[in-house]
Chain A
Amino acid sequence: MSGGHSQYVPVNGFMKWMDDRLPLPRLVYDSFIAYPVPRNLNNWYTFGAILSIFMVLQIITGIVLAMHFVASTDIAFNSIESIMRDVNYGWLLRRLHANGGSFFFLAVYIHIFRGMYYGSYKAPREILWILGVFIFIIMMATAFMGYVLPWGQMSYWAATVITGLFSAIPIVGEPIQQLLLGGFAVGEPTLNRFFSLHYLLPFMLVGLVILHVWALHVVGQTNPTGVEVKDMKKETVPFTPYATMKDAFALSLFFVLFAYFVFYLPDYLGHPDNYIQADPLKTPAHIVPEWYFLPFYAILRAFDFNIGIPFTDIVLIDSKLAGVIAMFGSLIVLLFLPWLDFGKTRSGDYRPLFRQFFWIFVIVCIGLGYLGSRPAEGGYITAAQILTAAYFGHFLIILPWLSRFEKPKQVPPSIADAILAKNKAA
């Protein structure tokens, strides 16, 4: 879509000189000013911009926090408290960073669901989607390691549980776990390497985001009709001022919500046990991750049975490994989404059946999130098993089946027609 030639005209001699040598202003102009966006984008399409701003916010607050943080098991907990109590506006930085992580995930979940609803993963946007999944996975790794740094009870036990997952992998599992921990249990080396990686991964994230945006600017954005832009003049508007203003307004509203939590409910999304310093001798009653990991945690714990050959005692996959495979599988399956849903119609607006299943899928994810927060016993496990089946069923059965048999509604011939029809109706 940006295939049209550059419209950048240097405004003065210096910019002309610059453009002939390093056309950076041209790149910025073409990407964020002249870049054509479909006219009919709705507000769900603003989360990409919101996410990039949150990434920058996390990096800035994180770099300042790192100046005050001490990655040592004896001092880490108190160094966080000294940030909260003695560093000028340290309490604000820390609240912004901790809650910023949560809101980063809130935005990314909306962004992912939006992509799923409007079929943003379909050709020619498979690479764009896959890069997005990698961004999501790196985000999760970053958030997990960041959560360990304050060295509270939940930090410590979350680290123990999650690194313990790797020990389930046959043969290479234990060495991998020991490599992650830097020893046989979570301790000083673990904290130090997690701090190091927590500083490194965000910059890898930036790299992936640049590729993500690049891929986006090659293929262009989808839009609620799911029809590709046919007439650049009639159907697109320049990024600035249109998308810029729209994104700015949405971002500002999102910040209102963010500020509400940072200033009035700063501990709402956290766990009280993380205000207790890590104690390897005391296991908390329930070990729960942050809210954004809960659905995956529910899938992990849904497997309380070994998978073996029926009517024999032969165990092929024990329950722990099955849970680990399912949890990582629930992310890996996203990579294959473009080929699991191969129907030609992109947008959920024109796929009545798909739409139903989409919303069921959203509810399944929320249900898994709730179950992830409950203790793994009795009915909670049964419920988690049902919803785990529903999660994978959506990708592996429902979507391929829908792509083959669903009869979509008539898609408008072009974006311009869709806009005209909408104006007529209004």
Chain B
Amino acid sequence: MKLTTVFSRLIAAGFATMLSASMMTTSIRAEEDGSSPHYPINHPKPAHWSFSGPFGHWDLGQLQRGLKVYKEVCSSCHSLDLVPFRKLHDLGYSQAQVKAFAAEYEVTDGPNPEGEMFDRPAKPSDYFPGPYANAVEAASLNNGAAPPDFSLLAKARAPERGFPTFIFDVFTMYAENGPDYIYSLLTGYQDTPDGVEIGEDIYYNPYFIGGKALAMAPPLEDDLVDYDDGTAQTVDQYSQDVAAFMMWAAEPNLVERKSLGFKVMLFLIIFSILLYFTKKRVFTNLKD
């Protein structure tokens, strides 16, 4: 072999060593972690969702149950600012039902001709009123941390999937990280393990994204909400239902998106095949 070739092989080998060394330091660091702990402690538990996959659709019964859980439990602390009552029509309710549902809420309107604000029953065009007057009140009544709004939470809470899982996710079309997280968090409260220190008035939960424990007390218990469709009244079921509802609230166009996507993909694939043969035909003119 010529000298330059040998030399360059050496350099290439050096580069390869550098690469693998850098990858090794990375993995060593990950193992003897300790300086900056990584949350959540546990990956979310995967649940079964009707809206996963290319033909995902809403389970309307589940969304209605989720709405009930939200209304009777969660809404005492969590707002749902971006969802108007009219949207509940999508959950399978008639216009009259939506109107009646909205009317159970009071909203502030005005000013009237005398210049005064007044309360009136909500209309379908109104948005879910929140439990607090403003963010400062929400924080002050909750030890300084305002409970997050529910409208986008199912998309805003998605723990990192890590390598190489995030690559497989492309092929399995996994996009239910958010609802899995919510479901896991709600069912994940545990007794604080021995030797783990947590602050006062917070609750240990290895699925929480922001630390070992969170300020929200376990909100659900069996038989807390009455289901009239015979579905099991368990914490597990409530958690799934409210997580599905939150996914709907965060992405109300999910089903429309997927069904349009199927048509677009089908068109593009057929179009690509036609283009392939056209191209082949055009290029046969060149073969000589």
Contacts and interface: CB of A to CB of B under 8 A. Distances in A.
Interface of A: 39, 78, 81, 84-85, 91-92, 95, 237, 241-242, 245-246, 248-249, 252-253, 255-256, 259-260, 262-268, 272-273, 275-276, 285, 353, 356-357, 360, 363-364, 367, 370-371, 374-375, 377-380, 382-384, 386-387, 389-390, 398, 402, 405-407
B283 A272 contact: no
A383 B5 CA distance: 28
Contacts of B157: 272
20 contacts: A81-B82, A85-B253, A92-B257, A246-B283, A249-B275, A256-B268, A256-B272, A259-B264, A263-B265, A265-B175, A268-B169, A275-B155, A275-B156, A275-B250, A356-B8, A357-B8, A360-B12, A363-B19, A367-B23, A379-B26
B25 A39 contact: no
Interface stretch (B28-36, B67-75, B182-190, B232-240): B28-36
Nearest to B154: A275
A382 B24 CA distance: 10
B163 A370 contact: yes
Contacts of B217: none
A93 B123 CA distance: 30
Contact of A273 (B11, B82, B156, B258): B156
Contacts of A237: 286
Interface residues of B, number: 62
B47 interface: no
A374 to B, nearest CB: 7
B82 A367 contact: no
B158 A272 contact: yes
B257 A91 contact: yes
B35 A378 contact: yes
Interface string B161-188: 0010000011001010110000000000
A406 to B, nearest CB: 7
Contacts of A276: 148, 152, 156
A248 B260 contact: no
B264 A390 contact: no
A149 B155 CA distance: 18
In this complex, which of A285, A353, A378, A406 has the most chain B Cβ atoms within 10 angstroms of its Cβ?
A378
B272 A253 contact: yes
Given A84-B253, A265-B175, A387 B282 contact: no
Interface string B5-18: 10110011001101
Contacts of B175: 264-268
A387 B22 contact: yes
B246 to A, nearest CB: 12
A377 B36 contact: yes
Contact of B261 (A246, A259, A383, A389): A259
Given A92-B257, A245-B278, A375-B36, A406 B8 contact: yes
Contacts of A256: 265, 268-269, 272
A91 B256 CA distance: 10
Say what secondary structure dominates the interface of chain A. helix
B260 A92 contact: yes
A98 to B, nearest CB: 13
A264 B54 contact: yes
A383 B26 contact: yes
Nearest to A274: B156
B26 A85 contact: no
Contact of A380 (B4, B26, B178): B26
B22 A386 contact: yes
Contact of A242 (B26, B256, B283): B283
A367 B22 contact: yes
B252 interface: yes
A15 to B, nearest CB: 26
A407 B1 CA distance: 12
Contacts of A266: 175, 257
Interface of B: 2, 4-5, 7-8, 11-12, 15-16, 18-19, 21-23, 25-30, 35-36, 54, 82, 87, 148, 151-152, 155-158, 163, 169-170, 173, 175, 177-178, 210, 250, 252-253, 256-258, 260-262, 264-265, 268-269, 271-272, 275-276, 278-279, 282-283, 286
Nearest to B270: A252
Contacts of B275: 245, 248-249, 252
Contact of B22 (A245, A353, A383): A383
Given A256-B269, A263-B262, A386-B18, 11 more contacts: A39-B286, A91-B256, A92-B257, A259-B265, A264-B261, A265-B175, A272-B178, A275-B152, A353-B8, A377-B29, A383-B22
A199 B268 CA distance: 30
Nearest to A384: B22
A402 B16 contact: no
Nearest to B81: A78
B179 to A, nearest CB: 13
Contacts of A356: 8, 12
Nearest to B250: A275
A386 B18 CA distance: 7
B29 A378 contact: yes
Nearest to A251: B275
Nearest to A393: B15
B25 A262 contact: no
A78 B15 CA distance: 49
A398 B11 contact: yes
Contacts of B30: 379
A375 B37 CA distance: 11
In this complex, which of B11, B157, B169, B173 has the most chain A Cβ atoms within 10 angstroms of its Cβ?
B11
A151 B81 CA distance: 17
Contacts of A285: 210
Nearest to B262: A263
A377 B15 CA distance: 23
A382 B25 contact: yes
Nearest to B5: A353
A404 to B, nearest CB: 9
Contacts of A265: 169-170, 173, 175
Nearest to A240: B282
A91 B260 CA distance: 12
Contacts of B12: 353, 356-357, 360
Contacts of A357: 8, 12, 15
B169 to A, nearest CB: 7
A264 B258 contact: yes
